Every structure is written in C-alpha cells, then in structure tokens.
C-alpha cells in the first residue's frame, strides 16, 4: 500500500480488508510504530504488524544473538550467533521482506533511565518487551503526557506466565467496537403505544442488545419512523421497544430496522496507577482470581530483578522463597490486597529465565491486534491488562528433578527451563501429521521448529500436506511465503522455509487432499504411526472426515480455525474427550429457491442469484454441451436418432444452444443486450402480470408486503455505467465460452454503441407459467420437454446442419470456472453488475464490488493476528498431549481479538453409552473379532455374543447393509462367508462394521453399539 496514493493493494490485502475495512487500513498505512526488544515475543509482534501493513516500524534491540535465541526467534540463524550480530540488525532483512509496503528500520542505541525520550514523538504507538518495569513506567508517563497521547503497549513472557498492558491515553474514541456488519431486521408489526413494541418476522430473531441504536426505512403507515434513529430495549428474542409511538399513524406493513454503529469512548490510566489497582481481562472463568495472582507474582519478579540485578535461577528453591516474600509484601501495597498464590510465584521463579515460544505466539497475536487498534481506532481496546499462564503444563512436573530444567548449551535451553529435558526429548521424537499449510499451517510449522518437533536422531517426523498453490493474497498472513513463491505448492515451500528456522527438523511434504480418495496413502497404518494429528483447515467437511479417521485409529487431534478476529482451538484425546463430530453446528440457512428466483429481499439474495447465473450460463451449460457431443460425436447421427423417436438426454437444450450460438463479437454483444432485457425488464413485467400490485392473499393481506418487494422493470440506458458494465462483462464471458475472438477496438464504447443501437430487442409477451411462491419448494432437477419443443429441436438441428453450423468446431464450448481473485477475468464484474441491476429492479440497496466479491466468492475474512494467537494455543496443548496429561489439564479456547475476549474452557468429557446389562461403550471403544477363511455371518454374530455378552440384530458396513433380518433374503445370508459378503481387496486385513442390538422393549429403536473391527484371519500377536 503506497502511502502517497493511499491505494490498497487488494490482491495482497483482500482477506484483511474484510476484517478491518478501508478506513482502518488507510490509517494504519500512515502510522509509525516503535518496538523495543526483538526476542521471542518482539519478533512475533513485528511479524504480525508488518504483515498487517503499518507505514513504518522501528525495531530496537541492544543484545547480541546467542544460541538461546535460536529456540525463541524464528528469524535468527546459526551464522548470526557465530558472528555475534545485534538481534535487531540480524532480524531486520528477514522481517522487512514480509511486506514491501512497510518501511522497517533497526535501532541499536541504548534505551535506559538516562535516554532523552523526545525521539518517541515521531511514533503513534510504542511497544516495549524485555524492558525493566522502572523504564516501562518512565516511557509510559512520557507517552501518556503527549498531545495526542502516544499509544503505549508493554508485553512480556517469563517462563510459564505472560503479561500484556495497554494505555491509549485519558480518552480513546472507537468508531466501530466489534467490526460486525450492522444488522438488518425485517419488521412484521409496530404497536401504537408507549413504549412502542417492534416485532420481527417469525423465525428471524433480531439478536440485538439493549442500548443499541436503530434507524428505520420502508415502514408503511407509521411512516414518520422512516429515517429516524431510536435507542432500543430488548423485550424478547423477536421484539424490542423504541419509545413512544402512541401519537403516530397506525402501522400498516413492511419496514426494515437497521443497526446504527455509534462511537464509544474508552478511558485509560497510566501504568503507575494501574499497578496498584489493575483492571484485568479474565480469560478462564474457572479461575477468576488468577489474573491478580499472576499480577502480584510478575511484580515480585520485577522487584527481584531490580534488587539482585538478575532473574531468579532456573529451578532454584532459595530464589523462589525470596520471590514469595517479595510477593507477600507487594500484595499489601495493592488496593485489593489479593491473596498470593505460592504455586504461581514458585513456578514463575523456577521458569522465569526460560521461554515458551507458543505462549509468545499467543500473546504476540493479541498484542499485535492491540497495536492495530491503537493506530486505527477500530475494535474495542484491551482494558488494561491480560495475563495468560500455562501452569497446567508445569504442575504435573512437580516431582521432576531440577537438573532436568538446566541448560545443555543447545537451541532448546529456553524451552528446557520451562518443561524439562524429558518433555523436550518427547517433542523431538514426535511423529505429527499437519493437514493444511495455509495461515495456521505456516504458524504451526514455525512453532514445531522452535519446539524441535520431529528432530530426534532416530525418531520423529513432521508430515505435511496441502493440495493448494500459493496465491498473492496468501502473503498477507501465510508468513513463510514470499512473492517469488507465487504459484508454487504450499507444502513444499513451507517445508523449505521451516528448515531455515530449524535445519534439524525432518519434514515429509505432500500435495494430497486428505479425503476418502487418498486413503491408500493416509491409511490406518499411516495414522497408527502418528503420535498426534493437527488440522489447519478452512472447512467443516474436511475436519469431520479427519476427526472420524482419528477416532477410528485412536489418535489425538488438535483442531483450530479463525474467521476474521475470531478463533477457536479444540483438543481431542482418545478415551478422555468427545470428538469434533460429537457436536454439530446448525447447518447454514439456505436461501429458499423462490426467494432467489422471484422474491429477493436483501443484497445477499441478488448476489447469489448473479453467482448462480454465472455458474449456469458460463460453466454448467457449456460442460453439459461438451459432454453431450463427446457421447454423440456428430450432429447428423443425433438428427437421425431423434427423428427415429429416440430420446437423448439433454438433446433439446444442447440443440437450442447450438442454434443460438454467437459466432462473432457483434453477436456476443447482441446476446448480452437481449439477456439484459430478459433478466431486468421482462422478469419484472411477468411477475407484475402474475401478481398485480393490488393482489391480496386469502386472509385479505397484500401479496406484495415485507419481505416480498415488488419489482419494477429497468429501462436500458447506454450511458448508465451499471448497464454498460453488464453488457461488456457478459459479452466478454459469452465470447470466452463460445471461443469468439475480440480485440481492444471491439471493447471500445463506439463499437459497442454501434452494435447495441441496431439490436432488435424482443417485446415482452406475458406467459401463464406458474410462479413458485412456496418457500419450502426446492429447485426442480429438470424441466420436462414438450412434444412441440422436440419438433422444434429437429427443425433447428436440420437448419444448423444445412447452413454448415454443426461442424466439429461448433460442437465445442469452453466452460469457465469461477475465480474470484483474478480481477482481469471479469467474473466479479459480471456478478457485481448483474446483482446490482437486480437490486435496482427490486429497490434493494446495492453492494460495491468489494462486498460482492466477499459474498459471491464465499471469502473467509482473515488476519495474521488471530492466526498467530490460535496456533500458539494449539502448540501449548500439543505439549500436554505429548506429556500424556490427565483430562483436566487440557483447555479449549474461543477468542475474539476485536472485543477483546479470550475464554478457556475444559474439554468435554467423553460420554458413555449404555447398551444394557451393564454393557456400555464410548466413541473411542472398538470391539474386535478374529475370523478365519470359512467364517460365516452367523459365526460372526455368535462370536460377538460370546465375547461381549450381547447378540447383534443388525450388521452394517459403511452404507451397505450386510444383515437386516426384516429385509428380504437377508436370513439366507447367515450361511454366507464374511469374505463373500464384504468382498475385501487382496491387501485388506480387516473391515470396520457397525452392529446394533435389539431394544429391551418392542417398538423402540435398535440400540447402537461400538464399531467392530473384523479381521479376516487370526493375526499373529
């Protein structure tokens, strides 16, 4: 984003633009940020804010690179350590290449009590890491005193505890606190009363909160509400009050209430004052006291450092005792006099010299989002402290000897000081399967590299797969990729970049999709070799599939995902937790077919209609056309066959397409003009012919009332850019699918005007077609062809053959695949023009190209801050999985960095299903039966009864029913061998079957059982 032109590079920033919006992006592109301390936390923050696109960042550091840094800063390499380079200078070129639009500079001058701080006046935001508390206070006082105040953020990670503090000045105005789209609510009634009660359409809850503001439009009857703004009070999920409406005209029908975003002021106190009376975000509601306890412990650590000129030694009990005394005395000076938690103080003291890279990734993600809030005024800022601890990682290490935590002189010393050498070794020997190398995947690989995952001498391997190639829009958050990697496979590129962080990591990279089709590659044997599976996916279907494979093979799975500033993590552990498939989100609401076809009420409906038109005209029909002519190679043969009365599937539509095929640029433009008339004029006239404006329903109410909007025909105007844009984009797409060449001259206004002025536009003739009004009706699969249509097809095909317009080249089209990210292809231009013309026809507020692209392309908004935070939290859970921790140690997380909230919850305990007679199972149980060559279905049923004490009444393999007694012929199957019934491939040793059991009382459903793995022959144990 060049600062002078202020143009936003959409190809790079598109996913982030949908999170922040253009105003915030432009403010960010004018901001200068200063960051001190480029250790493990500083480099995370630098990475995220450079990817986001601030104007300039200065990274400051006075330390030299050591071996220690290799395990915490992913941009410091071994040669930097050998040559003892300054950390800021070593990191500078590597962070600078993350984003060409950001100017990055390094500073190595000392920053201490004697420094003249006036140089900070150049910056809008100052971030401090690895700075003493005394100096933090001094710099904070300076920043707070400026006019306008310089936004101040300090962040630190010490061992198993982290702290983040924000001060954005006495007053800080936020224009948009959540970043959510303003809600639109369709109204069904407004009472004439004090207060007036507004009711929404049934089955459409308003999801508003008391105190929010709404404005009204399109209200009939109580029309004085239109254009007015009201503060609301929620009455129920479907109604709210708006103040006195008793003197207004009675409400008739219609109306839309639109949420109004109102600015909000936030007030901050300086660090000095906040230390004694801290305002903290509570991330874990099961431990509401924890933030204050960590606050005291970290203050005690700062005092210890000031008193002794050093941090407490690793695992030193004396230092821990000393720190505890300091903590107790500090607690007395605070306003709330919080209770000191001895365990927190002890573990902080023992690990403070160490560093957990995943904790830094999590805190760094949150801190970076606060930087973006500071410079843009977008989203609610943190007030004012956030403390995250990972005591649940170290608590089980209570009895581990202190020598386990001592340095060994390698790159893992900082990690070892926190989790001990044995856990480090387990991480080195880990086999992990990472599915997806996008934004979360890149962040995960960085975390794996810093933790030394898959670096063991004899054991350990990271397997990664991703079928996608790198696009420019990925570079904004998939930080392992650079511009010269565009169009290269993500997995191979990510593997290479990970080796730059840690040359000892072993990575096996694939470009496969993980799905039923690749089960030969990702077989049960493959899963069994993995210690843990980590998903970095962007869709639910793939998550469900991988979850089912993990459950079948008893493998732990850690899942995560982000959408804009929101993120989640979920840890799934065999025999302890529920699985991903145990809970199902409600399915996305589909837009009813009749709404799309005839009764749109919102811009989302017109965009989906335009997207469907694109699919049908430029992809689906050309594909069917090609498929037909591959089946029947010549037009003459087809003509003979239909003349002899044969019915060839799809031939009517194919012949119609062939006979109307445009053969020149002029004909493509003419076709586009005719389509304009059909879509945006005739459609409206037909609907008004079928349902005149005064049409009433059986109950006497108007047919055309909210949410149904009457359409009005759009008259074609050549000089209207929207009309002209539709003609050009449609003609270009027709030319592409029909293989018609066109030149720059063809695209000139003069040429197109010349063609359009001579087009004979067909007149509207009303038809008696029935218009579908039933919201539950689905789109018909195929429309029947009349005998007149068939006769017409014969005539048209004969005509095409006689005029030599059914030659081999005429029997081919070029289907187009919708591609949202290539602006030169005209796909989004067509969808935007078609959608906005339809919106105009129905008097719906149009959407710009940017919003249309997001909805039509189903783009998931994304930003590096949330991705980094989520992947850090996943890697923390990975350490617990590797350590074989008990169920209560694991935490799932939901976060929304915009608000900001971060909620940790315990994992859901696995449910046990009772069959009967004390026999029960969970999703992780699997029964096994070993058979032999002549083993029959009856033998299998008897074997289950003998081994598990209950007789199956039904046996199913996937979707194939092997034995259902009520089905005809199934009783005979009891004598068949399992080999014959299942028909396994030669290499298949077993099959997973589903069995169920008779209910205890007749009339009830059969009782389900766990999966039964049937081995065709006895395995050698």
For 509, the enclosing helix (H) or strand (E) is: strand 507-510
How many angstroms separate the CA atoms of 655 and 636, rounded?
A: 12
Closest-CA residue to 208 (of 253, 251, 260):
260
Q: Is 688 helix (H, G, I), strand (E, B) or coil?
A: helix
Q: Is the peptide bond before 707 cis (omega within 30 degrees of 0)?
A: yes
End-to-end Cα, the chain, rounded Å: 64
- Continuous segment of H or E residues that includes residue 560: strand 557-563
What secondary structure does DSSP assign to 15-27, as a single string? HHHHHH-HHHHHH
* Residue 898, token pair as written in the block: 């915009």
Listed in sequence order, the DSSP H helices in 773-922 are 787-802, 827-841, 849-856, 864-882
**Cα separation, 337 vs 276, whole angstroms:** 9
The residues, ordered by sequence, that sit 6+ positions from 978 with a Cβ below 8 Å of its Cβ are 931, 935, 936, 937, 939, 940, 1014, 1016
Radius of gyration in angstroms for the set of CA atoms belonging to the chain, rounded to a whole number: 33
Which residues have CB under 8 Å from 492's CB, separation 6+? Answer: 509, 511
To the nearest 10°, the Cα dihedral for 341, 344, 350, 356? -170
Give the C-alpha separation, 851 to 836, whole Å: 12
- On whether the CB atoms of residues 142 and 276 are closer than 8 A, the answer is no
Q: Which of these, 100, 88, 102, lies nearest to 31 by C-alpha position?
A: 102
- Enumerate the active-site residues: 594
Count Cβ atoms within 10 A of the Cβ of residue 699 and give its class: 0-12 exposed, 13-18 middle, 19 or more buried. Answer: exposed
Give the chain's length: 1021
786 by DSSP, 3-state: which? Answer: coil
- φ, ψ dihedrals at 60, nearest 5°: -115, 135
**Residue 220: Cβ-neighbour burial (10 angstroms; 0-12, 13-18, 19+):** middle
Contacts of 529 (CB under 8 A, 6+ apart): 431
Q: Are strands 385-389 and 431-435 parallel, antiparallel or unpaired?
A: unpaired
- DSSP states along 211-236: T-EEEEEEEESSGGGBT-EEE-EEEE
Query: How many whole angstroms separate alpha carbon 347 and alpha carbon 818?
Result: 55
d(CA 502, CA 338): 43
- Cα 453 from Cα 460, distance rounded (Å): 7
Give the Cβ contact number of residue 519 at 10 Å.
12
Within 436-483, strands assigned E span 461-465
């Amino acid at each position: 984003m060049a600062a002078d032109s202020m143009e936003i590079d959409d190809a790079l920033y598109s996913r982030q633009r949908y999170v922040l919006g253009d105003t915030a992006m432009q403010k960010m592109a004018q901001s200068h940020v200063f960051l001190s301390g480029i250790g493990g936390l500083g480099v995370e923050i630098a990475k995220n804010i450079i990817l986001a696109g601030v104007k300039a960042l200065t990274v400051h550091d006075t330390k030299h690179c050591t071996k220690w840094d290799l395990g915490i800063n992913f941009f410091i390499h071994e040669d930097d350590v050998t040559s003892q380079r300054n950390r800021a200078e070593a990191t500078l070129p590597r962070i600078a290449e993350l984003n060409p639009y950001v100017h990055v500079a390094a500073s190595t001058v000392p920053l201490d009590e004697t420094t003249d701080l006036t140089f900070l006046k150049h910056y809008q935001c100052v971030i401090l890491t690895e700075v003493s508390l005394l100096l933090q206070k001094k710099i904070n006082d300076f920043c707070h005193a400026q006019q306008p105040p310089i936004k101040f953020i300090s962040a630190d990670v010490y061992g198993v505890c982290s702290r983040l503090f924000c001060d954005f000045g006495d007053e800080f105005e936020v224009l948009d606190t959540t970043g959510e789209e303003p809600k639109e609510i369709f109204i069904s009634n407004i009472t004439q009363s004090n207060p007036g009660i507004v009711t929404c359409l049934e089955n459409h809850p308003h999801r508003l909160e008391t105190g929010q503001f709404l404005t009204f439009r399109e209200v009939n009857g109580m029309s004085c509400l239109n254009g007015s703004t009201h503060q609301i009070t929620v009455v129920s999920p479907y109604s709210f009050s708006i103040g006195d409406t008793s003197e207004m005209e009675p409400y008739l029908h219609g109306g839309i209430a639109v949420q109004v975003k109102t600015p909000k002021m936030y007030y901050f106190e300086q660090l000095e004052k906040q230390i004694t009376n801290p305002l903290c975000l509570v991330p874990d509601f099961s431990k509401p006291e924890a933030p204050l306890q960590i606050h005291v412990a970290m203050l005690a650590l700062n005092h210890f450092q000031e008193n002794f000129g050093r941090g407490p030694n690793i695992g030193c009990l004396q230092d821990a005792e000393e720190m505890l005394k300091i903590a107790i005395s500090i607690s007395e000076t605070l306003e709330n006099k919080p209770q000191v938690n001895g365990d927190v103080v002890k573990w902080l003291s023992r690990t403070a010299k160490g560093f957990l890279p995943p904790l830094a990734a999590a805190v760094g993600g949150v801190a970076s989002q606060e930087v973006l809030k500071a410079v843009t005024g977008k989203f609610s800022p943190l007030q004012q402290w956030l403390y995250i601890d990972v005591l649940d990682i170290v608590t089980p290490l209570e009895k581990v000897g202190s020598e386990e935590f001592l340095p060994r002189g390698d790159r893992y010393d900082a990690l070892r000081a926190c989790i001990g050498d044995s856990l480090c070794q387990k991480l080195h020997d880990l086999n992990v399967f990472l599915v997806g190398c996008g934004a979360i995947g890149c962040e995960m690989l960085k975390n794996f590299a810093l933790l030394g995952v898959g670096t063991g001498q004899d054991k350990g391997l990271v397997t990664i797969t991703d079928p996608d190639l790198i696009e420019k829009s990925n570079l904004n958050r998939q930080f392992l990729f650079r511009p010269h990697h565009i169009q290269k496979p993500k997995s191979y590129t990510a593997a290479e970049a990970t080796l730059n962080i840690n040359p000892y990591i072993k990575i096996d990279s694939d470009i496969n999709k993980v799905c039923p089709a690749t089960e030969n590659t990702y077989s049960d044997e493959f899963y069994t070799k993995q210690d843990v599976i980590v998903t970095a996916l962007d869709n639910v279907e793939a998550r469900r599939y991988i979850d089912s494979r993990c459950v079948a093979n008893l493998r732990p799975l850690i899942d995560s995902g982000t959408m804009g500033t929101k993120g989640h993590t979920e840890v799934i552990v065999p025999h302890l937790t529920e699985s991903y498939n145990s809970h199902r989100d409600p399915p996305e609401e589909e837009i009813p077919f009749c709404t799309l076809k005839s009764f749109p009420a919102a811009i989302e409906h017109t965009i989906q209609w335009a997207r469907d038109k694109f699919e049908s005209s430029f992809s689906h029909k050309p594909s069917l056309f090609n498929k037909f002519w591959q089946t029947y190679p010549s037009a003459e043969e087809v003509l003979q066959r239909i003349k002899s009365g044969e019915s060839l599937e799809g031939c009517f539509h194919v012949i119609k397409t062939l006979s109307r095929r445009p053969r020149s640029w002029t004909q493509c433009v003419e076709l586009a003009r005719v389509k304009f008339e059909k879509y945006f004029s005739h459609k409206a006239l037909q609907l008004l012919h079928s349902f005149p404006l005064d049409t009433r329903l059986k109950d006497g109410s108007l047919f055309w009332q909210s949410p149904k909007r009457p359409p009005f025909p759009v008259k074609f105007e050549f000089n209207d850019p929207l009309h002209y844009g539709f003609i050009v984009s449609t003609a270009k797409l027709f030319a592409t699918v029909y293989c018609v060449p066109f030149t720059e001259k063809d695209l000139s206004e003069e040429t197109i005007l010349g063609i359009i002025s001579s087009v004979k536009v067909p007149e509207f003739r009303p038809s008696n077609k029935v218009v579908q009004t039933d919201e539950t009706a689905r789109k018909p699969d195929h429309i029947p062809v009349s005998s007149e249509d068939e006769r017409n097809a014969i005539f048209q095909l004969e005509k095409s053959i006689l005029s030599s317009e059914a030659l081999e080249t005429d029997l081919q089209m070029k289907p187009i695949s919708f591609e949202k990210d290539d602006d030169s292809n005209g796909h989004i231009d067509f969808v935007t023009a078609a959608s906005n013309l339809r919106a105009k026809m129905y008097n719906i507020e149009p959407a710009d190209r940017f919003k249309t692209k997001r909805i039509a392309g189903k783009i998931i908004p994304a930003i590096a801050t949330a991705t980094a935070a989520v992947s850090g939290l996943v890697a923390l859970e990975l350490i617990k999985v590797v350590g074989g921790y008990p169920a209560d140690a694991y935490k799932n997380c939901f976060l929304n960095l915009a608000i900001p909230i971060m909620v940790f919850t315990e994992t859901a305990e696995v449910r046990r299903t009772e069959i009967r007679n004390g026999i029960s199972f969970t999703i992780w149980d699997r029964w096994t039966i070993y058979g032999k060559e002549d083993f029959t279905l009856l033998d299998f049923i008897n074997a289950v009864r003998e081994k598990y004490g209950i007789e199956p009444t039904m046996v199913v393999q996937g979707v194939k029913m092997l034995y259902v007694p009520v089905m005809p012929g199934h009783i005979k199957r009891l004598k068949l061998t399992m080999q014959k019934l299942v028909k396994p491939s030669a290499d298949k040793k077993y099959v997973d079957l589903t069995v169920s059991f008779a209910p205890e009382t007749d009339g009830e459903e059969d009782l389900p059982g766990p999966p039964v793995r049937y081995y065709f022959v006895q395995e050698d144990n």
